[in-house]
Amino acid sequence: MEGIEAKVRLVEDKTERLRAFCTLTLDKEFVVRDIKIIEGVKGLFVAMPSRKLTDHCPKCRIKNHLRAKFCNECGSRLPGNRAPDPAEGGSKLHVDVAHPINTDCRARFQKAILMAYERELERAKAPDYVPPDLDAMDKEHK
């Protein structure tokens, strides 16, 4: 992987821990969207894009989030405690959609993302600041 390009869009609501969204382009060929920059207890960290874990309603077979009490489709009550048992390492309610395979790759991604975040914070101080359009990144590389 030669080139990592990170574009950051700051989140305006400073009361939340979420500080920004990031789109990462790898070698001008592959895009990862919806990476989050979050203010944690020990500072900023990068959260890869994820999706909620779901299971099927026993009545209509539509997917519902594991914490849902009622089916989104038919309205029937769903069984309780459908989330995996935390004692078995299954307390996760979300799963990464894309993520680095090893710590070196994660460190490179995190470095590029946090550097782009710092640059965007500086740019945002300008009176004529215009946030980047993260969706436009695809079109730039075609």
Tell me the β-bridge partners of 30.
26
Tell me the β-bridge partners of 6.
24
CA 8/CA 22 separation, integer angstroms: 4
Query: Quick one: which of 69, 95, 63 has its CA closest to 81?
Result: 69
What is the second-level CATH architecture of the domain 4-49+97-132? Answer: 2-Layer Sandwich (3.30)
Q: Which of 10-24, 65-79, 86-100 has the weakest average pLDDT?
A: 86-100
Element (H, E) at 71: none
CA 75/CA 86 separation, integer angstroms: 27
138 band by pLDDT with thresholds 50, 70 and 90: low
How is the chain split into domains, by residue range?
4-49+97-132, 52-95
Q: Which residue shows structure tokens 């395979």? A: 101
For residue 92, is pLDDT > 90? no
